[in-house]
Every structure is written in structure tokens, then in C-alpha cells.
Structure 1
């Protein structure tokens, strides 16, 4: 049978535990304990040490026989033995047994038909405020009957010894599907908590015929729904927080037979170089109850959003209702428009292009973007990467499971699909400029309201994408990336290079249809 797991309930009974505190109470505890400080905006600000982003090399799934066959094992989903997990779990619970603890009971999934009751046990009060704001908060009535089906134990202060504990470093994020536990230690970055539950939902939902998606979503006055897929830093949060539309959620959603629903109850926005002018809704959400990670601050408690002294990956966490007009409960109908966001560091993809269904499937499976500085440990400048389904780090099942479901839903609901490049124009990173957010907003608006379809389109000779020739509010020369480069031959070389990378990456999808393969870029 191996090592028995320690009893979490006995630990919670034997120490000082605060259950489901109010926001003011958690803020008081966090400040009193020296974990954070109150800023002039009313938000609390904390730092997370050397872990200022996710640590993907330290994420594991317990290799249990009854679950093993369904998991797509590899660099993303690294296996770890039940024995190693139980040993670490017991050590962590022993470590927590004489500490003050903070417990949050709530839900993942706004649609009650697919809702997962969760419990999060926190060593740090500020992380308890984070989960209170990021997950779905129960009503008083729901709290009376709440029975967690999954538990997260977050002990940042416990550091593993790799030589003894079987981890890759002092940090670890371990998902145990059999025991329904997530164990986190050694890292203070709160994003690990939310993404671990997202990974759990990405395992559970597809088996109930629900597509789980790494995307933001909003809805218009007439009920038209738009999805924004993309990795961290590509603009999901920024572009979905549209003053003319209603926010469903900024990062994680399910698409069922009834429509879309938010998996979370809050937002986790990157706030490096945040400005009131460009992102007013996010700017105004940073108030009492919000949590700021690694944002620079002066002696007068003023925030410096332009500073990357601690990391590029500065973050703000706040509840969904801090965004005016947010949809609560955060459910809506079927999407009319699907947008794939990429931040192309090569500067060669068009700022917006229309995709056929086959191209949509090709680009969804490819998941091309550039990892932006700070979102993962060790990334200091943009790196070209392919992240299947625009969310590979969080997908326990085979990528084709999610891709096939998306293809079926696009066809069934006649959704239009666009690729939007929020990255570089006029040259690669270091030479060109990041696409102006005002232009991107105008292009996204045109895609959502359908006015883009009145434009003439030209076909990109390498990528085969349909590029509009005019969009209101956007200079025409910006729409075709080759026109923005002073050195056209340099553009052609860079485009060929990226096309080769697409083709090389797609070799791993040898089993997909010839129609999808035919959507690949052309290489001379």
C-alpha cells in the first residue's frame, strides 16, 4: 500500500485556522504579519522572491494507474510517483501543523452543472486573499453545505530537497487526481494556485463533453460572444476588458452545449506599463481588495507600473465585479467570433487576418507566440514558442482532444475565426515597435461587429492568411506587415524563417487530416 497520507483535517483542527474571512479581515492579517503593505490605491502589494512567474519544470502529475493512460506525459506533464507525493505531502502537513492557516472554500466553474467545489489551504494570508478574489465565492447558503471535491495546499515557505524528495528543485506543484489534492511548496508566486486548478478542470471538463479553454471572453449588448485565445502577455485580459462590451472572464473558460462559462471569479492582469489611458478598466480595478505582485513602490506608497525592477511579470488580482458591467454569474451563449492572439517577436505576422476552418485548426494546434519576459522563470526577452491550443502548459490530456472539440464547435455554431498579432511591426523585437493597442482594439472591434468583412482581402504569399486592406481607425500600411519594414528582403528572410519553424513544429501532428496540413505556410 505504501506510505499513508497524513490527515489534513487533523492538522486543521490542531492549529489556528481562519476560515473564509472577509476581505478586510484578510487584508488586516496580511499587513499585521508583514506579508504586504497597503498602497495609495487601497490595494495590497507583496513580493514573491525569486519566483516571479510559473516554474514549469517543477510541475508534476502523480502517475496513478487508473489515470495514467489518459495523461499526455512529457515535458509539460511530468510524472511523479505516489510514494514521492505522499512523502512530500506528509512533510508539508507536518510543516504547517504549528502555523496559522487561512482556508478558502469556493468553486471553479460559473455554470453550476459543471462546477467544482474546491478548498484552498494557505500558509500566507495574502495568498488567501488572492484565491478569494480569483475563484468563485460562495453565498452564505452555499457555504453551509460546501463539500470540497479538490483541495489545494499552498505552503510557499516549505522548500523541498531534490536529493531527498525527488523534485527538480526546492519548488514543486504536484497534481494528484486520485487523491484530489494539489500540493504547492517552495514558490510564492500565486499564479501556480490558479493554474493548477485550471489544469484539473482541463482534465475533468472534456470528459463531460465540455471544451476547457485558455481564453478570455466578453459579450455584446445583443448577446454576441467573443473568445480571445492566447498565452500570458498576448492581450487576453486587456482586449476582453472592453468598455463597450461586458466581461465574462479574462483567462479560463468552458464551452458546453449551453454556451460558455468562466471557470474563475476574478482576473489576474499583467500590469507592467499599465496606464489609465490604455487600460482604464484594469487601472480602476486596482483598489481595496486587489492584490499586487512585484509591482514597484516608493516610500510614499505610490505604485510604479513602468518599473520592471523585480520582474516584467508584475500582476494585479481582483474580483470580476471590479470591472464595470461584468457578467455575473459569468455565463453566456455560444461564441460568434474566435480570436487567436499571438505576440510575434519576428514581426512578420499580420496584425489581423481571417482564417478558414482548416487554418483555424492549424493555428490552434500550433499555438504560436513569443514567451514574454517574466511569465516563466529564466525568460528575460521574447522567445518564439509553440504552445499547443494556446495553453499547452495546462493541458493534461492529448492536445488533439481539445483541438477536435474546438473544430466541432466552430462548425456547429458557425463561428468566424481571426488571427491577431499583438506583437511587433516594422521589424523584429529590438528593431520594430510593439503594435499600438489602439490599433489592435480597432481591429478586434471590426472583427466582432463584422465590419471587417466589408474590406477587400489579400492573401499572404507565405502564410496563406487573408489580410484586410482597410479597417477604420487603422493606417492601411500597418495591415500588411511587409509594408512596415524598411528592408523588404529582411522581412522575406524573417518570414521564411518563421514559416520553417511552423512546419518543423507541426511534424508532431502527423495524424491530422490533409486539409489541416494544407493550411501550413509555404517554404521555398
Structure 2
């Protein structure tokens, strides 16, 4: 495709004055050809492109910096998550990346972040790898060429993954660098091949921009039923967010990033970036089917030597194996990426301590408390018999991407659920009957039955019992779920051990929430559990 003048002039403005050939808005077949020709990956059986990103097999949060200046000094929650840098350091790195790009082919994709035309942001993704350009094509919103005739990027990502930063020279933490300048509307990425940095950097930008327009940015999945009743699912990695939202009976709006505006919910993306580890056609048929499609990228998934068949159980490179594919590869995906105001807001947590109820109803104040807490628990590891679970608190269920103070997002959420009458729920997809090593994971079919009962409004007015420690309202009966598992204390052989474990988790909640207490109302503070 001919490169428009506005693209070449923009590249020059970025300092990219002497690159190699510019490949503009290439489609997947050509990007496949170029990626394979440049030895960027392997062709997997059934058509996916299989790539590797090691040693960086996930985001690199310690290597992300935001330029601190007069315009954002009071709007960003500066600290260990949002690390500040200065304009001079950013400009120096930009010059270094421009030098690195000399003579190198560059791939440019003009795309959009946000399916709602009222809030969409044009994004230009510039990469040195063909497969990263394919990733951008998959993950952002695609529009016909006629809509891009006068394209002007609202933000640009320059991703030169083979560049390696010098910490002493470039003022970075490592050879990887993810630098964001809100003023220059530019993201610089170098030193990491992990493609997720591209989409998450734009998510962070939207998390800063949209609250000023009374839009709540959310790290969540969303779906709707045939009558248009919408639900959103918040949850950290491993809690079942993608699995539980990919319901064949409902339309998938999106699986990871959304906004909640005065118009309703809208997807930020045009694709999905699903975990692939231990994927099976029995448990997740819709997602599994995408791994047999041309255009899908399988990231860090191992292939059988002779057949090139993906082995989704192989975690040789990482357990964070990923699949990137256009959202319309899911048969029931929304054509518009938009839905109404949520009738149900569902928080998912994997409680490895085995003390949270499998389903509970939340008041608006409890909703804001759990939103700010963003709790899940992870097992430290089992390779050498380590069995103690570890509590993880990621505020707003997406702390690494929340640029503003968490209380701002919580207030927005509280306002919207009150205005639109959303019912709010906490679902524990973790353990019952004891902590890790003793308890068993709550049966997926029981969890699905709980979600189904919520989405069909069967629990809205159902009788509930307050949890004595955490205060949530636990339904006394859920269709197709044994009553005995609804109260977790009843599933433990030793009730006294349950009480001790519940009190310990309540203490961890309270300790974590202390940092937000000065920023929330008394009602939200009172929603904290009592040890």
C-alpha cells in the first residue's frame, strides 16, 4: 500500500528521518509472509503464527515510566506503579530509538482504541516486527480505509523491541523501557518483545483521559443477553474472567478493557488476548476454536516438532502463554463492541485461603470497598512443596494500569451503579473446604450456575444471610448449587481453623485498605471486614 504523506511527515516529526521501507496498514496474509521470512515465528498447525518473547514473557512494570510535568503532576497517582521521569530523559530515549530505526523496515498500523465513536481515540502503532504489527491489527479497533482517509493519531506507540536500553546512559532500570509522555501523546517501547506492552500502554493512557469525560475505564470483560441486559466481570489473572464471560448463550462485548459512559459500556479493543495455558476444547470451546484459525498469534506456546501442533500444557517458556485474535473469531462476539448500562457488576476472586463465600451480594459501599481492594490470592508455588497462599491486592482489579488515584475510579463506579441501579456481586472461584493443600477448587459448573442465576435475575431478591466476618450478603439457595457450599465454614472439617483463617484474611484486607481510608466516605470505610 502507498504510504500517505501524512504518515511520512509524522515519522519525520518523531525523528524517524532515515528508516528502511515503510509498510503501511498491511493485512494479516502479508504480515504472515514477512514475519516468517524474517524468522519472527513459526507456522502452527491449522494456521496460527507462533512467536516467542523470552526472556520477557509478561509486562515489565518496573520498566514503565511516565513523564511528570506541570499538566499532570496533580492528576497522576505517582509512586511505585506510576514511576516518574522527566521530559529530557524521554527526549533522549526517543533520539536513541530514532537512531536505532535507521535503515530498518517499519510497520505502521492506523487503528482505534474505543468502539464508541463518541469516545474513540485514533492510535498509530509503529513497530519493527511484522508480528507486532499483526498483534496491533488484532487487538485494536479496525475500520474501513475510507474512515481513515484523514487519520490523525490521538496517540502513537513506537515499538522497537530489539533496541536495548543502557540503564546508566538512558536512566532506565534495565534494557527494557516503556516510557509514556501524555504531553507528546507518545509511547516509547524498547528492549522487550512482549506484545502486551503495546495494548496495555494505550489502556493506561485511556485510564488517564476518560475520567475527565465522566467515563469509567474498567479492566473487565463484558457480555449481554439477547434482550440487551449487560454484565461486566472484573477479575485478576487466574480468576476466570475470560472463561466466565465467554458464554455461548450471550453476546461477548469484549474480554479485557471497557469504558462505562453515559451511553453504556463499550469495548476499548477489537480483539482478545487470552491465556492459553492448559486450554482445552471441553472447558473453553469458543477460545480453543481460535487456536485453529489463520490470523491468531500464539505467544510462547510450544509446538510439537513434527506436526507443529500446539501443546497448551507445556509451560517450558512461561505459564503466561497467550493467544491474540480478532474478537470476531468468537462466534457470539458483538458486531458493535457496545452494550447498555450494566445490570450486573461481578467481581471475581480466587481465594486460596478457602474462606470467602462462593457467591455474595454487595451493597454500593461494599462494592467500592472490594473494587479498591481488588483481592485475589495466589499459591506461591508447588515445585518444591511450597503451599502457603499469598494474598494479592491490585486496586480496581488492574493497579498496574490505573494512572489516577484509585479513589477517583471508585467514586465513578459508585456513582454509576447508583445512577443505573446495577446489582453487584462477589464470586469466589477459588477454594472451598480448606486452604491450599487441603481444600478443593469450587466446581466450575457450580460457579457457572451461580453466574447464570445472577444474570437471569434469580438472586436479586433471594433471601440472604450476612457473612459474619466479611459482611457480604450470602444467598441461602442458588439453583443447581448444593446449599452446603454456600456457607464456606460448613465445608471445613475444623470450624475453629476456618475462624482463624477468616480472621487472618480480614486482617489483611483491613491492612491493605488503610491506605485508602482518607480518600473514601465513612460508608465505604465501614464496609471493611471485622477481624
TM range (shorter): over 0.9
Question: Is the counterpart of residue 230 in structure 1 residue 235 in structure 2?
Answer: yes
Instruction: Determine the structure 2 residue equivalent to 1:190.
Output: 195
Pick the aligned partner of 2:61 from 38, 52, 56: 56
- C-alpha displacement of 1:454: 5.7
Question: Is the counterpart of residue 420 in structure 1 residue 463 in structure 2?
Answer: no
Instruction: Please give the alpha-carbon distance, in whole angstroms, between the structure 2 residues aligned to 1:8 and 1:344.
Output: 50
Does structure 1 retain, via aligned residues, the 8 Å contact 2:18–2:102?
Answer: no
Note closer, same or farther for the CA distance 1:365–1:9 as it changes in structure 2 (3 Å cut). closer
- C-alpha displacement of 1:13: 6.1
Pick the aligned partner of 2:258 from 231, 253, 261: 253
Instruction: Determine the structure 2 residue equivalent to 1:208.
Output: 213
- C-alpha displacement of 1:381: 9.3
Note closer, same or farther for the CA distance 1:373–1:158 as it changes in structure 2 (3 Å cut). farther
Question: Is the counterpart of residue 297 in structure 1 residue 303 in structure 2?
Answer: yes
Pick the aligned partner of 1:142 from 135, 147, 152: 147
Question: Is the counterpart of residue 107 in structure 1 residue 105 in structure 2?
Answer: no
SS, match of residue 402 in structure 1: helix
Question: Is the counterpart of residue 161 in structure 1 residue 166 in structure 2?
Answer: yes
Q: Which moved more, 1:10-19 or 1:155-164?
A: 10-19
Note closer, same or farther for the CA distance 1:88–1:373 as it changes in structure 2 (3 Å cut). farther
Instruction: Please give the alpha-carbon distance, in whole angstroms, between the structure 2 residues aligned to 1:358 and 1:131.
Output: 38
TM-score relative to the length of structure 1: 0.95
Pick the aligned partner of 1:391 from 384, 398, 405: 398
- C-alpha displacement of 1:103: 1.1
- C-alpha displacement of 1:271: 1.4
- C-alpha displacement of 1:243: 0.3
Instruction: Please give the alpha-carbon distance, in whole angstroms, between the structure 1 residues aligned to 2:360 and 2:423.
Output: 11
- C-alpha displacement of 1:490: 2.2
Pick the aligned partner of 2:223 from 196, 207, 218: 218
Instruction: Determine the structure 2 residue equivalent to 1:65.
Output: 70
- C-alpha displacement of 1:329: 1.5
Instruction: Please give the alpha-carbon distance, in whole angstroms, between the structure 2 residues aligned to 1:453 and 1:272.
Output: 35
Does structure 2 retain, via aligned residues, the 8 Å contact 1:6–1:90?
Answer: no
Instruction: Please give the alpha-carbon distance, in whole angstroms, between the structure 2 residues aligned to 1:18 and 1:493.
Output: 61
TM-score relative to the length of structure 2: 0.93
Instruction: Please give the alpha-carbon distance, in whole angstroms, between the structure 2 residues aligned to 1:201 and 1:514.
Output: 29
Instruction: Please give the alpha-carbon distance, in whole angstroms, between the structure 1 residues aligned to 2:37 and 2:29.
Output: 12
After superposition, where does 1:301-316 map in structure 2 within 5 Å? 301-316=308-323
Does structure 1 retain, via aligned residues, the 8 Å contact 2:19–2:104?
Answer: no
Instruction: Please give the alpha-carbon distance, in whole angstroms, between the structure 2 residues aligned to 1:32 and 1:470.
Output: 59
Does structure 1 retain, via aligned residues, the 8 Å contact 2:353–2:389?
Answer: no
- C-alpha displacement of 1:463: 0.6
Instruction: Please give the alpha-carbon distance, in whole angstroms, between the structure 2 residues aligned to 1:360 and 1:276.
Output: 34
Instruction: Please give the alpha-carbon distance, in whole angstroms, between the structure 2 residues aligned to 1:372 and 1:141.
Output: 50
Does structure 2 retain, via aligned residues, the 8 Å contact 1:104–1:120?
Answer: yes
Instruction: Please give the alpha-carbon distance, in whole angstroms, between the structure 2 residues aligned to 1:347 and 1:31.
Output: 47
Does structure 2 retain, via aligned residues, the 8 Å contact 1:52–1:189?
Answer: yes
Instruction: Please give the alpha-carbon distance, in whole angstroms, between the structure 2 residues aligned to 1:373 and 1:317.
Output: 28
Instruction: Determine the structure 2 residue equivalent to 1:377.
Output: none
Instruction: Please give the alpha-carbon distance, in whole angstroms, between the structure 2 residues aligned to 1:371 and 1:54.
Output: 18
Question: Is the counterpart of residue 95 in structure 1 residue 100 in structure 2?
Answer: yes
- C-alpha displacement of 1:397: 0.9
Task: Let me know the Cα RMSD of the aligned residues.
Answer: 2.0
Does structure 1 retain, via aligned residues, the 8 Å contact 2:453–2:478?
Answer: yes
Instruction: Determine the structure 1 residue equivalent to 2:328.
Output: 321
Does structure 2 retain, via aligned residues, the 8 Å contact 1:426–1:481?
Answer: yes
Instruction: Please give the alpha-carbon distance, in whole angstroms, between the structure 1 residues aligned to 2:445 and 2:30.
Output: 40
Q: Please, which runs of 5 or more residues in structure 1 have no aligned partner?
A: 375-379
Instruction: Determine the structure 2 residue equivalent to 1:483.
Output: 490
Q: Please, which runs of 5 or more residues in structure 2 have no aligned partner?
A: 1-9, 382-386
Note closer, same or farther for the CA distance 1:10–1:389 as it changes in structure 2 (3 Å cut). closer
Provide, for residues 468-517 of structure 1, a one-character-per-residue CA deviation record: whole Å limited to 9, x for no partner. 23222222222222222233322222111110011111111222211111
Q: Which moved more, 1:465-474 or 1:40-49?
A: 465-474
Instruction: Please give the alpha-carbon distance, in whole angstroms, between the structure 2 residues aligned to 1:218 and 1:109.
Output: 16
Question: Is the counterpart of residue 18 in structure 1 residue 23 in structure 2?
Answer: yes
Provide, for residues 47-92 of structure 1, a one-character-per-residue CA deviation record: whole Å limited to 9, x for no partner. 1111111111111101122222211101110001111111111111
Instruction: Please give the alpha-carbon distance, in whole angstroms, between the structure 2 residues aligned to 1:207 and 1:26.
Output: 37
Q: Which moved more, 1:489-498 or 1:99-108?
A: 489-498
The count of residues paired between Structure 1 and Structure 2 equals 515
SS, match of residue 530 in structure 2: coil
